[in-house]
Amino acid sequence: MKSAVPKQFLPLGGRPLLMHTIEKFQTFDSSVVIILVLPEGHHALWEKLCAEHSFNVRHQVVAGGEERFHSVKAGLDCVAADAPGIAVAKRADDAPRIAGAKRAEDAPWIAGAKRAEDAPGIGGTKKADEAPGAADVLIAIHDGVRPLVSHDTIWRCFADAEEFGNAVPFIEPADSVRILAGDDSRPVPRSDVRLIQTPQVFRGSVIIKAYHRGFDPCFTDDATVAEADGVKIHLTHGNRENIKITTPEDLAVAKILAGTLRQ
């Protein structure tokens, strides 16, 4: 983004775009407990911005780690330590992170956990006589620089995760796709390609167990971590406006879209 201000704190509609992202989940369901994973060096700035903008959506701030993997694990550890809570692990800054190599201190995360039975339109399967725990929640891991995720996408992800154990949103590419092979390249049918988004939603028992493993540079998102633990990934439809804001052009597009989109 070539800005002195971390991208998640850049203004969108007069406020840091991270606030819009957090509010999207809070307005989807006010019972969601939000955990924001931020580099420790950004905590004071975030607190200052919350005061300046009278941002009063309740959330817990957790220090991130060296890589995206470690930051998500910090959010999940927080959920596991407070099992009766609601879980969503979400990365706030995430640009190259979803693609892999970005350091976690550059990228804040949002985490919130939510019980499936508490989500609108989602039926719960927990027995009444069982104590609530991390396994009873659906954990959605989302990029904080995706403030234009729709309520419909969030709902589909929670609903499908309740049924299938996980849900990863996607869109189909609009452009032609080619795969590089050394100095050559070959076309790939667009119908065989999916572009992956967030939130990626998992049952607490599934994703917390998956993150017990060691870090691997091949982990590009939470789905790849879960797959390494033998989990079959279920894809569900996202929304095309759910762009990851990583460039000035992305921010310009988001400013236009933010004023025209419904929830």
- Give per-residue pLDDT as tens, 200-237: 999 999 999 999 999 999 999 999 999 999 999 999 99
- Amino acid making up residue 179: I
Give the mean pLDDT of the chain. 83
**Token pair for 174:** 């609009």
| Within-domain flag for 1 | no
pLDDT of residue 134: 58
- Give per-residue pLDDT as tens, 93-108: 443 332 222 333 334 4
| Within-domain flag for 263 | no
- Amino acid making up residue 234: H
**Token pair for 33:** 């407990």
The pTM for the full model equals 0.82
Instruction: Give the total number of structural domains in the chain.
Output: 1
- For residue 98, the enclosing domain spans 7-258
- Distance separating alpha carbons of residues 40 and 187, to the nearest angstrom: 44
| Within-domain flag for 133 | yes
- Residue 211, phi then psi, degrees to nearest 5: -80, 5
Ranges of the chain whose pLDDT falls below 70: 1-2, 83-135, 262-263
CATH value at residue 36: 3.90.550.10
Q: How far, CA to CA in Å, does 93 sit from each of 8, 97, 112, 146, 249?
A: 5, 8, 16, 9, 16
- Distance separating alpha carbons of residues 70 and 211, to the nearest angstrom: 9
| Within-domain flag for 2 | no
| Within-domain flag for 198 | yes
Tokens 């599934």 belong to residue: 206
